Amino acid sequence: MSASTFQTNSKAIKWIESRLPVISFVHESLVVYPTPKNLNYWWNFGSLAGIALVIQIVTGIVLSMHYTPHVSLAFNSVEHIMRDVNYGWLLRYIHANGASMFFIVVYVHICRGLYFGSYKAPREILWWLGLVIFLLMMATAFMGYVLPWGQMSFWGATVITNLFSAFPVVGKSIVTWLWGGFSVDNATLNRFYSLHFLLPFAIVGVVVVHIWALHTTKSNNPLGIDIKGPQDTLPFHPYYTVKDMFGLGVFMTVFALFVFFAPNYMGHPDNYIPANPLVTPAHIVPEWYFLPYYAILRSVPDKLGGVVLMFGSILLMFAMPWLDFSRVRSARFRPIFKQAYWLFVINAVVLGYIGGQPPEGMYIIIGRIATTYYFVHLLVLVPLISLFERPLPLPESISNAVLGGSAVPKGAAAAPEKH
Amino acid sequence: MDQRWMRKLAIGALALGTVAIASGAAWSSTGQMEPAEQEWHHQGITGTFDKAAAQRGLQVYKEVCSACHSMNLVAYRTLADLGYSEEQVKALAAEAEVQDGPNDEGEMFTRPGRPYDHFKAPFANEKAARAANGGAYPPDMSLLVKAREDGENYIYALLNGYADAPAGHEVPEGKYYNPYYPGGNISMPPPLSDGAVTYQDGTEATRAQMAHDVITFLSWTAEPKLDERHRMGVIVVAFLVIFTGILFAAYRRVWKDVH
């Protein structure tokens, strides 16, 4: 990034700039940053994810001033927040629903990347960093759900930490090490609290690098073609600041509807029962955003196999840039990939549904079919489609397509796809 | 092409919502009867607690439920939210004998309750509660409405749902048949019968009336800030809708000349 576009006559700003070029940096990355002019609303979700993270950190820090991480005090300290702390109920409901909103936004953000081929060259590292953020989010959310020390907190923690016992030889030792004892107990709660406080700041760090990578490669766009010149872009400000603000308004409205009118809708009633190691809930289910992975875990009759497939389902995403080697990024020009994509999304929703059901009868069979399809899609269908699909002709440039010029047939772009 | 795409996404979002609902509903699929929907004054986005009903419900709790069920999370001082005066709150608290201490001699002593005390529990600990209730542990009632799926309607159905066991259903000694309870056999004897309390405000104390009143009270103990939450929510959402509209206008205006 060159600082050449930033100019000022202010002596004070020049003084700062010559010592730390922070003002030109902000200018480059938030004001003049060249952004494709054809981004649609699905590109709003990146900034929304960043804002959701900030909301979680701010509310979380205030909540931590009133919460007590001890097995005999944690549950009541949360109720103290709900009853006695000024606007404590509001903070806690924002934080609890904010986690769900964060996941909704990030799932849309990931799906957008998958549809428009945002993981392809030159954005592989950008994609990986996003997946690292996603994994850190999952760890953070899981440990946060343990903190109120309700029944689902305790039993969720027990089920998930026990997964590590599936690893041969060292499994049991790993679980004892994770627990800090021989069962989920006070030591577990304390370390989860510590890590739940730490990891969001690790996420902030990876987000910074994620944005660094983004600003290096520049944004992808719905056409999936490269920026050819200034005529294809707009400065980030005011065009995308105002569009992101509008998206934020819609997001906050939906968020507020949950917080004020259905604050426990995405929670589980059992978590209003204090944790009791002697009473197991009828159905132990994780938070909704983990259900597809929970379904994959339970679809495999072998415990180790289930754990490997569950983690594998996310780790495989790191290989997307090579599993999909079609040169066309956007699914708009990939008629077969597009259909496979929607089947994959529907399949993921089916997995989520199965994850919330008891593992019995038809649910097991459907879960196994959906799990198989998840991996067949990524490992078989995506490479095969890359090989055999004949993409539609790509437009000449972003500005040509935006100006309404019909997609100019470009034989040169389509032909090499036959390999 | 874009519109078709939007439609598909909408279908996807809808399906995702269905998953959320279905996963919530899964909990109640343990074979018991589904409770019927009742009318609650505090439901809906502008719902507020029916304070007269909640006050009657407090009376039912005090005279019936509190013999076995604790209310550990609720302080007497918070009863002011139900419309009691400061004097009334003091009097309600003073009805309980609470243990305090140690005093300067190192002795524990009892004194009348004060507004800052929490509701006095009927039993000293879980073991004592079980010993007095045939081995069953009456759950603390503070959060009961939120700790059960469809809490208000479930508890209403349960309180009014005691019946003779159908042929072939074995009810163990010391249990009672209630089709709304998981498994059908509940340790709690039917707690409410017509006229079990005499309401001070003259309302006829039918079983259904008492159930309705005590659940209104329990909804308040589980979610005491509901009125404030609804009031604030209407204002916040109204503001956000208007503000988002302004932002949309700003967005359209800024983008007017972009092609």
Nearest one of A167, A221, A202, A191 to A395, comparing CA atoms: A221
Residues sharing a CB contact under 8 Å with residue B148, sequence separation 6 or more, in sequence order: A269, B154, B155
- Lowest mean pLDDT across A1-15, A323-337, B174-188: A1-15
Distance in angstroms (rounded) separating the CA atoms of residues B206 and A64? 46
- B14 falls in which pLDDT band (50, 70, 90)? low
Average pLDDT over residues B231-251: 98
What is the separation, in whole angstroms, between the first and last Cα of chain A? 36
Query: Cα A189 to chain center, whole Å?
Result: 25
Give the C-alpha distances (Å, rounded to integers) separating A342 from A310, A366, B9, B19, B45. 21, 18, 9, 17, 35
Q: Is B22 an 8 Å CB contact of chain A?
A: yes
**CB atoms A252 and B240 under 8 Å:** yes
Chain B CB contacts of A252 under 8 Å are 240, 244
Instruction: State which residue of chain B sits closest to A89, comparing Cα positions.
Output: B225
Nearest one of A188, A197, A195 to A65, comparing CA atoms: A197
Domain made up of A285-398: CATH architecture: Orthogonal Bundle (1.10)
Instruction: State which residue of chain B sits closest to A401, comparing Cα positions.
Output: B259
pLDDT in tens, A254-299: 999 999 999 999 999 999 999 999 999 989 999 999 999 999 999 9
Average pLDDT over residues A164-172: 94
pLDDT in tens, B60-115: 999 999 999 999 999 999 999 999 999 999 999 999 999 999 999 999 999 999 99
Across the interface, of B19, B139, B241, the residue whose CB is closest to A349 is: B19
* Mean pLDDT over each residue of chain A, to the nearest integer: 94
- B3 falls in which pLDDT band (50, 70, 90)? low
What's the confidence (pLDDT) of residue A401?
A: 79
For the cut 60, the answer to whether the pLDDT of residue B121 exceeds it is yes
User: At B53, phi and psi to the nearest 5?
Assistant: -65, -40
User: At B103, phi and psi to the nearest 5?
Assistant: -80, -175
**CB atoms A285 and B26 under 8 Å:** yes
Distance in angstroms (rounded) separating the CA atoms of residues B18 and B213? 33
Average pLDDT over residues A25-32: 93
Distance in angstroms (rounded) separating the CA atoms of residues B48 and A355? 36
Across the interface, of B233, B243, B254, the residue whose CB is closest to A260 is: B233
B126 exposed, middle or buried (CB, 10 Å; 0-12, 13-18, 19+)? exposed
Find out whether A310 and A159 touch, Cβ atoms under 8 Å.
no
Give the C-alpha distances (Å, rounded to integers) separating A106 from A50, A51, A64. 10, 11, 25
For the cut 90, the answer to whether the pLDDT of residue A410 exceeds it is no
What's the confidence (pLDDT) of residue B142?
A: 98
Average pLDDT over residues A82-97: 98
Name residue A387's amino acid.
Answer: L
Q: What share of chain A is helix, strand, coil (3-state, %, to 5)?
A: 70, 0, 30
**What are the boundaries of each domain within chain A?**
29-280, 285-398
Chain A CB contacts of B12 under 8 Å are 342, 345-346, 349
Catalytic residues of A: 215, 219, 243-244, 287
**CB atoms B236 and A352 under 8 Å:** no
- B12 falls in which pLDDT band (50, 70, 90)? low
Q: State pTM to two decimals.
A: 0.91
ipTM of the complex: 0.90
Which spans in chain B are helix H?
Answer: 2-25, 51-63, 86-94, 126-132, 151-160, 207-222, 226-254
Residue of A40, A83, A346, A357 best to disrupt the B interface, most CBs of B under 10 A: A83
A4 exposed, middle or buried (CB, 10 Å; 0-12, 13-18, 19+)? exposed
**CB atoms B45 and A261 under 8 Å:** yes
Using CB atoms and an 8 Å cut-off, which of residues 297-356 of chain A contact chain B?
332, 342, 345-346, 349, 352-353, 355-356
Chain B CB contacts of A283 under 8 Å are 26-27
What's the confidence (pLDDT) of residue A3?
A: 44
**CB atoms A246 and B244 under 8 Å:** yes
Q: Minimal Cα–Cα distance from A44 to chain B, Å?
A: 13
What's the confidence (pLDDT) of residue A411?
A: 42
Nearest one of B124, B149, B133, B138 to B22, comparing CA atoms: B149
pLDDT in tens, B179-226: 999 999 999 999 999 999 999 999 999 999 999 999 999 999 999 999
Chain B CB contacts of A250 under 8 Å are 244
What's the confidence (pLDDT) of residue B10?
A: 55
Across the interface, of B26, B230, B258, the residue whose CB is closest to A37 is: B258
Q: Is A282 an 8 Å CB contact of chain B?
A: yes
Domain made up of A29-280: CATH architecture: Up-down Bundle (1.20)
